[in-house]
Chain A
Amino acid sequence: MICFDLLIGFLKVGLFAFGGAYGAIPLIRDVVLSYGWIDDEMLAYMIAVSESTPGPIMVNLATYVGSSQAGFGGALIATAAVVLPSFVIILLMMILLKKLLKNPYVQAILQGMKPCIIGIILATGIFMILQHCFSSIKELSVNKTAIIMTAILAMIYFGSRRVLKKGLSPIGLIGISAVAGIIVYGFV
Chain B
Amino acid sequence: MNILIDLFLTFAKIGLFTFGGGYAMIALIENSCAEKKQWITHDEMMNVTVIAESTPGPIAINCATFVGYKQKGLAGAVAATAGMVLPSFCIIFFISVLLDSFLEIAWIAHAFMGIKIAVGILILDAAIKMIKKMQKKPLPLAIMYCAFITMLLIDIFALRVSSITLMLIAAVISLAIYMMESNAGKAGAAK
CB within 8 Å of B: which residues of A?
Answer: 12, 14-22, 24-27, 30, 34, 41, 44-60, 63-64, 67-68, 72, 75, 79, 82-83, 85-87, 89-91, 93-94, 101, 104-105, 108-132, 137-138, 146, 149-150, 153-154, 157-158, 169-171, 173-174, 176-182, 184-186
Among A46, A83, A90, A111, the one with the most B-chain Cβ atoms within 10 Å of its Cβ is: A90
Is B1 among interface residues, defined by CB-CB distance under 8 A?
no
CB contacts under 8 Å to A, within B45-92, are: 51, 54-62, 65-66, 69-70, 74, 77, 81, 84-85, 87-89, 91-92
A57-B20 in contact given A63-B92, A124-B123, A177-B117 (Cβ < 8 Å)? yes
* 20 further A-B pairs in the complex, CB-CB below 8 A; given A26-B151, A44-B116, A55-B89: A17-B58, A22-B122, A27-B163, A54-B91, A55-B21, A55-B88, A72-B93, A86-B65, A90-B66, A111-B140, A114-B140, A115-B143, A115-B144, A116-B147, A123-B155, A124-B155, A129-B121, A153-B118, A171-B19, A174-B119
A181 touches B110 (CB 8 A): yes
The prevalent SS among residues of A at the interface is helix
A123-B178 in contact given A90-B62, A115-B141, A186-B107 (Cβ < 8 Å)? no
